[in-house]
Each structure stands twice: as structure tokens, then as C-alpha cells.
Amino acid sequence: CARMFTVYFPFRSQIGINVTQIRLPKQCTEDQVIEELLKLNDDQRVHGVYLHLPPAFLTSRVLNTLKPEKDVEGISDVNVGRLIRGDFSRGFVPPVANAVLDMLVKDDGPVEGKNVLLVGGKRPLQLILQCLIEKSGMATLRSNRNRNHLQRQNVVRSCSRWLQDQHYRPWRLHPLKLQPLTPVPSDLEISRAQVAKPVDQLATEIGLLPEELESYGRNKAKVRLSLLDRLHSQPDGKYVLVAGITPTPLGEGKSTVTVGLVQALSAHLKLNSFACLRQPSQGPTFGVKGGAAGGGYAQVIPMEEFNLHLTGDIHAITAANNLVAAAIDARILHEATQSDKALFKRLVPSVNGVRKFSPIQISRLRRLGINKTDPESLTSQEISNFVRLDLDPKKITWQRVVDTNDRFLRKITIGQASTEKGQIRETGFDIAVASEIMAILALADSLEDMKNRLARMVVGTSHSGLPVTAEDLGVSGALAVLMKDAIKPTLMQTLEGTPVFVHAGPFANIAHGNSSVLADKLALKLVGRDGFVVTEAGFGADIGMEKFFNIKCRASGLRPNVVVLVATVRALKMHGGGPHVSRHGSANLSLVAGGCQSNLKKQIQIAQQFGVPVVVALNVFKTDTQAEIDLVCQIARECGAFDALPCNHWAQGGRGSVALAQAVKQAASKPSNFQFLYHSEMPIVEKIRTIAQRVYGADDIDLSLEAQTKIDYYNQQGYGSLPICMAKTHLSLSHMPDKKGAPTGFVLPIRDVRASVGAGFIYPLVGTMSTMPGLPTRPCFYDIDLDPATEEITGLF
């Protein structure tokens, strides 16, 4: 059998050494050895590991899994490199090498000048011995080959290796074993019980190069966009969208289904697959809904890191958004208190007696029709036009943001200090993920595209009715700097060691509700022609899926192969006339059938309008009966679904979604006849009416006078060809949250229409939509705590 010895050093008055022998089965695999080493790496009680393994197991992969500081045998690549470089302070000298040196030193006569013949191949021990012997002043037998010839050989090898690295690398994914327990523990307990692979190991397994990775600790890393250039000729994999029926307030588990599906595809069907998920907002995490890492045995791990801060993208968005807000109010103050001449002198300061426009100021001059680059050549009128944005405080559309549910920031008054010289106005805060910058992050397809979109953001209107942009404020370049790292997707993994991209997180009811275009594009290249990328759309198919097709697919140029429509028995009972919020319930086939024939049927029909096959995934709860499960799957197929299957990933992991994965694979092999719901050149009003009638089931729309006035203005400004992003409740197909099933006979009220010009869409407001959630009476944070001794978090879900 293979053996490993672990060494513990208990801190007592007299230091002792505890040695534990770990025996592995004779027929164990390399993956089992690595799994054991990962556990020992993370065990703080273990200070050293000695590998007593057969030579076949001493592979580079095994040796380099072991942490260098615990490699007491000193044979990992890092330790060998340190010793050869002469860094003896951190590396370990192998015991055999030490013994040989001791023998040579103790031998009679001086050490210097001795000749030592090394017999054997250049394995780590021989390399270390040669290095140590030569550093002691002794000579070893060396090759007499011409040095220049060796250099030329190495240059050729280096170039060959570089060229080989640029090609697509087949995956060598090693899934993590999952041993589900009954009853199912909490999400946090499950997450902690699994030892995640180091993210750099995961990156290597899926074909990423070291230079394409920016690690943020052990468990997550940013992936550089240069990957798209390297794999530009690589065919894309299959593109799968996970959407859902109209949910209960508790959510129906789309993220869990997404994770369970990729675990089934990769870990069980051995197909390359990637999940692309949105980054969760801190608002719901500490509010009422909790985190968004999935749940049960279908999670992204570590779930604490996933749900809290991640790699700081939302913080970057908050900083960028609020920089724009600060720039707006500062500009209004300075224009109100200074003359044209004084403004010009400060905006274009003299440096060493010379005034010079910055590039962003030259861009503003061009938009004003002033083709001059010498500040001294501007006329008085040109100076006035250049320095005065003339923002109308009543028509500023930009708000500050914070990533917390804080209802008392919905409307605030700013500028009350005497230093602001009477520039008082009403404004408010949105939650950070409602910022247009978040939508831009999710829709940009390159750093340059993001920079251009940030520049186009309209923050308000001048007194003369002209739009004022972030570029007019001179702040768009700084925004790009703040967002330069946020544009890179974050790589994590599922409980079964399959890859996940986490990137962007726009809300689906007030924005387009999808993860980023870039995450999808990177993943589609990485999985290869026969692989699968599974991405998620927020809330019901009428909201997140419709926006995915009409907004995201227009921006990305990508076309989906399959829609997975998530349903639950509890939600179907609600749509069949049952209670609106119910975690448990008794069997009721009548309510289930009613929900299937109304909401489920309608959502299947919505997907079919886009020409994409639909597979219904019934997310099974332990309270569901077999009769209810069978009925849902039967009716779903009768309503036109390609297939419908129960999923048990929450309790079983990927194994519980193998049937779903097989159905998705089969559906993806069929030809897709994708089409948009409307043409982009259709008038704004007709695009809104098309969505209301064909998706929501409304008879017509009712435009308020304010909404019609805005539409006329947007047409005048050239925004008429932008797609539509309806801001509507997610709790009903209609604008009325209490109307469940598939309501008919209603007119959809459009009270206002706004534009996110940088993101690239028009968003009508249906009824009253809040962009800042509030906290409930008992928020989730009551249960969240930290153990100071272990630094472990409790209460997250």
C-alpha cells in the first residue's frame, strides 16, 4: 500500500514529535493521493509530510500539490528551485543529500578539490546533490557539450513551447468526490466539509496559462481577457440558458439547478462544462433572500467568499458610480459660483506658462463642433460653451449607490452645508447593482468597449435640453481606471471541482439580470466545440430570459442552443390558486395542474417564440410527492417542452441531475431557429407593446404623458433603435404582484421611460419600481456571526 507520514509538533514544555501514518489502498489513484494531500495542506496541526509512495505516484502533479513548507523531504519543484538558487533559509535539504554531504565532510582530508562521481538520472535528488556538492567546493562530473549549441537548442525549445501554449489545451479535469449525507446539512456546513482544489490547479486542468490568471488567495482568481485573443480561432461550445417560471418570494433555485447541471455534465458525463453566474449583492445576502451560491450539494465554494466581497467588483462599481455623482454636484457648484474666465483657467491650468487641453477635453471640443487644440485660440463664446455644462438640477438622473438595503436613502437632500453655497437639491441612493455601470460591466465585450460605454452614460440634461454625459464631465477615463480589474471574470469551482465564472450582477427587474457577456465568451472558448456553457437569467423567463435574448444576445452576437426552465411544485401550487409563500405543503394535484396549465405553459410558450428548445427542470423538494412530480413532467411535455425531468441535485449533487444533463445534451444537438422578438429599428412604443402583448399577455399598454414625452425626446436624440429593458415586478407576468398564473385582460401601465445610453437600452417603468430595497423586520444578519478564535463565519445561507 501507499503510505504518507504526517508530523505534528505539540507546543509543550518539552517539544515532542507526533507521527501519524496514513495508509492508502494499493489500488488507489493519483486523484486520491492528491485529495489526501489537500486535506493535509489545510490541516494547521500538520507541520510536515513525508511521501513514502511507489515511484509511479511521485509525479510532478502529486509533488507540487504538497505545500512547500510541509515538504520535509524537499523534492517539490519549489523546494528544488530554492536549493539550487542557494536559498537554504526556506527550503528543505533532502535527508539523503544531507547524509551524503555529512559523509564527504567527515572523510579525512579537506573538502575542497575532491571529485565526486554522480551516477544516475537527473532526478530532483541528483540535481540537489550536484548543486550542494559544488557549493561546498567539490567537483562533479559534467557534460562537455558546446555551450552555444545548448543555448541555440534552448531558444528553439522555448519558442516551440510558447507556440504550443498558444493552442487550445484539452481539459484534464479531476472532479472532487462528493459523499452526500442524509439529512442534508446546512449549505455552510456542506461547503466547509469539501476541500476545494487550489484555483491555480483548477486553471491548469481547464487549459488556462499561468500568465492568464490573477489569483486572489487560494480559492479564486481573475482571468485575463487576453485568453480571447489566444483562442480566437477555437470553436465555441454549446450555450445553455437557465431561466424559470414566475417565482415565489423565496426563489425557485435557478442557481442551484445551474450548478447541479454543470456538476452532472462534467463530473458524471465527462463533458467539459462551465457555469456562469452573477455575483450576489450584499443587500439580499444580509436582507431576506440570503446568498446566491446555489444550495445543498450543488454549490459554488467556498460559499462565504462567493457571497461576501468576492474580488471587489461591486465595490469598484460603487466607487465609480459615486465618483460620477460627486463630479456632477461639484460641477454645478463651480459653474454657479465662477465666471467663464475663472472656470477656463481652472479647467485648463497653466503649467510652466503653457495651457494644454487633456485628451478628454479635446473630445468635448469635437462634440461641440470646435476643431481647435490651442486653448489660446478659443473665442469667448467657445470658452463659454466649453466650460458650461449647464446641468439642470431638476433633470439629473444619476444617483449615488450603496450595496446595502437601506430604505431611508431612497430620497435624501444634499448640499445643506454652508460651504455648498445654497446648492441644495433632492436626490437618492440606489442599491449598487442597480447602477448603470453594473449593466455596462455585464454587456461590454472588451476593455475598450467598456470605456466607450462609460463615456456615453447620460447623467442628466442641460437647461437647453441637451444630454450631458460622463465624458462631458471629464470623468470617464477615471471610471475606466477604477473598473479595469472588475472587467475580468472571477474563476471559482463547484462542490465537485468543476469550473465557474462569477461576473457582474445586475438585478433582473430593474436591469437586464444576466451575468457578463465576457464570462460567457471566455467559457465558450475554454469548453471547446463539444462542451457546454450554462448561464443563468434572473427571475422568471418573462423578465430575465426575454432580456437575455433581446438585450444580451444582441450585444454579444451569441445564440443559445437550449433553455432550461426551472419549476417547483410549491410555485406551481401558488399559480394554481394556493398560498403565495409556502415552504412546505400537503399534496394537491389540482393546484399543481392549475399552475402547470397557466404559468408553466405560458413560460414555455415565451421561450418557444425565440425558436429555442425548452427542457423543464423540476427542482425537487423533500415535501414533493411522486404523483406531483410525475404530473408536472407530463403536463410540461404536453405543453411543448422538449423534455421535463425531476432534479435532485440539492440532495445528491451532480448525480441527481444526470438525467437533466442527458436531456440538455440531446436538445443541444437539435438545430436552433433563434430569432429576436422585435427588430431594433421598430419604434420604441411598438417595441414596448410587443413585449407587453407577446410576453406578458397584456391587451395593450397605457403610456403616461411623461412617458410619451420622454420617448419623443429619446427619438430626437437618436436613441430610438436601442432595445427595451422593462422594469417590472418579478412576482407576476402582469404589473400586479398578486396576480398569479397567466393573467389576461389587463392593460400594462407605463408611468415613465428612462434611458441607460451607456449600457445600451431604454427602460420603461411599469407601475412603481424601487431601485433601493429595504430590510425586513428580521433580516438575515440576525443569524450571521464570526467566531474570533477560528475566524469561521456562521449563519450564511
Q: What is the pLDDT of residue 46?
A: 87
The pLDDT assigned to 12 comes to: 42
Of the residues 289, 372, 395, 739, only one is catalytic, namely 289
pLDDT value, residue 11: 46
Q: Which of 344, 507, 650, 761 is catalytic?
A: 650
CA 715 to CA 764: how far, in whole Å? 14
Does residue 302 have a cis peptide bond before it, meaning omega lies within 30 degrees of 0?
Answer: yes
| Catalytic choice (306, 398, 501, 539) | 539
Please write the tens of the pLDDT for every residue from 171-191. Answer: 999 999 999 999 999 998 999
Given the residues 65, 246, 248, 256, the one annotated as active site: 256
Residue 621 known to be catalytic: yes
Grid cell in block for residue 50: 513525508
The candidate with the shortest Cα–Cα distance to 790, out of 165, 1, 192, 178, is: 192
- The active-site residue out of 82, 220, 224, 278 is 278
Q: Write down the CATH number for the domain with range 314-483.
A: 3.30.1510.10
What does pLDDT average to over the chain? 91
Active-site residue (options: 92, 621, 642, 746): 621
What's the confidence (pLDDT) of residue 153?
Answer: 56
Q: Is 593 a catalytic residue?
A: no
Specify the pLDDT at position 225.
98
Domain map of the chain by residue range? 30-166, 187-311+485-669, 314-483, 684-765
pLDDT for position 528: 96
Q: Is 781 a catalytic residue?
A: no
Point out the catalytic residue in the list 243, 434, 439, 508.
508
CATH number of the 684-765 domain: 3.10.410.10
Q: Give residues with Cβ within 8 angstroms of 545, minimum separation 6.
A: 241, 243, 537, 563, 606, 607
**CB of 443 closer than 8 Å to CB of 436:** no
CB 524 within 8 A of CB 239: yes
pLDDT for the residue numbered 152: 59
d(Cα 691, Cα 685) in Å, to the nearest integer? Answer: 10
Which residues have C-beta within 8 Å of that of residue 414, sequence separation ≥ 6? 329, 420, 424, 425, 426, 427
SS3 703: strand
Please give the Cα distance from 220 to 706 (Å, whole number). 47
Does 23 participate in catalysis according to the annotation?
Answer: no
Catalytic residue flag (residue 286)? no
Read out DSSP for 449-479?
HHHHHHHH-EEEEETTS-EEEHHHHT-HHHH
Contact criterion met (CB below 8 Å) for 237 and 530: yes
User: Is 488 a catalytic site residue?
Assistant: no
Residue-level pLDDT at 236: 97
Could you say which residues of the chain have pLDDT below 70? Answer: 1-16, 107-109, 120-123, 141-162, 289, 581-585
Q: What's the pLDDT at 144?
A: 46
CATH of 187-311+485-669, one of 3.40.50.150, 3.40.50.300, 3.30.70.2190, 3.40.50.2300: 3.40.50.300
